[in-house]
Amino acid sequence: MAAGNEVSTTYYIQHHLQNLTFGNHPENGWSLAHSAEEASEMGFWAIHLDTMGWSIAMGLLFIWIFRKAGKMATTGVPGGLQNAVEMVFEFIENMIQGTFKGRNPIIAPLALTLFVWIFLMNSLKIIPVDFFPVLFAKLGVDYMKIVPTTDVNATLGMALGVFCLILYYSFKVKGVGGFAKELSFTPFNHWALIPFNLVLEIVALLVKPFSLAMRLFGNMFAGEVIFILIAMLPFWAIWVLDVPWAIFHILIVTLQAFIFTVLSVVYLSAAHEHH
């Protein structure tokens, strides 16, 4: 889209950043939102069909590829797909060995799922920003935001999953008393400072999932906005900025997936530590 007047530019950007929302509208009942206002009026009882659809598709792709490689996995000489899968696998395994101090068979598969899934979801960014929205508009669907990690619901959803595990293992490994003691007596080991410690530690604990979610969301969302801005240049000039930005995003996509995974593992490792 060539840069038109200010209204259409704003509309274009907003349109690309609007999820396909299905929810309970106060006037229309359960329906698809036809505008950003309608979507926000639906409140909590709404679901982003595009985010869910694409994230589940990427999750299934991950499961399918790795399951296939796992089934084919032999002790003999590995083939191409198997090599790639095993490379990722060993990368994760080494990372776990380096950062996770406890012993828990769940952590490694969890990290593998997080890393590959987020990587695949992030990778959708490389697809030109207009491609799917225009395709779905032809099919009569108003909105289509294909990168799930540019939706804060998706990143926060995963971070909440990790947060639940942090709480679960904190209670399981340290016990209720041990966990309470850790929250009360760190960083200052003195009874008079218990309230101060509690405030500090609980804030630090609660911030963990938000920092995870916001970091990934912020990076992906900002990148997406820039892609959309670049897409508004004249068509013959788009590639000048778009190609370097996309190449740069190969790094960002991997890096953000990695950071999310490593930080999750580090948080979970801290949850396993005894004091």
Partner 1 sequence: MNINMTLIGQTIAFAIFVWFCIKYVWPPISNALHERQKKIADGLDAASRANRDLELAQERAEQTLRESKEQASQILEQANKRSAQIVEEAREQARAEGERLVASARSEIEQEVNRAKDELRAQVSYLAVMGAERVLEASVDEQAHRKLLDELAAEL
- 256 makes contact with partner 1 (CB under 8 A): no
String of contacts with partner 1 for each residue 3-22, x by CB under 8 A? ----------------x-x-
Amino acid at 14: Q
**Burial grade of 260 (CB within 10 A; 0-12, 13-18, 19 or more):** buried
157 binds partner 1 (CB under 8 A): yes
Distance CA 167, CA 226 (A): 37
Rounded to a whole number of angstroms, the minimum distance from the CB of residue 227 to partner 1 is 18
Q: Which x/- pattern, by CB under 8 A, does the window 162-191 give for partner 1?
A: --x---------------------------
205: which 2 tokens?
């604990």
Instruction: Give the contacts of 87 (CB within 8 A, at least 6 positions apart).
Output: none
Q: Is 211 a catalytic residue?
A: yes
Alpha helices in the chain (DSSP H): 6-16, 36-41, 49-72, 80-99, 107-123, 131-138, 152-185, 194-231, 238-272
Cα–Cα separations (whole angstroms), residue 236 to 54, 141, 230, 231, 239: 30, 28, 11, 10, 7
Does position 253 interact with partner 1 (CB under 8 A)? The reply is no
Neighbour count for residue 8 (Cβ, 10 Å): 14
- Is 103 a known active-site residue? no
Total of residues contacting partner 1 (CB under 8 A):
54
Does residue number 220 form part of the binding site for partner 1 (CB under 8 A)? no
219 is catalytic: yes
**39-68 residues near partner 1, rule: CB under 8 A:** 39-40, 42-48, 51-52, 55-56, 59, 62-63, 66-67
Binding site for partner 1 (CB under 8 A): 19, 21, 23, 39-40, 42-48, 51-52, 55-56, 59, 62-63, 66-67, 69-71, 73-76, 78, 85-86, 89-90, 93, 105-106, 108-110, 112-114, 117, 148, 151-154, 156-158, 160-161, 164
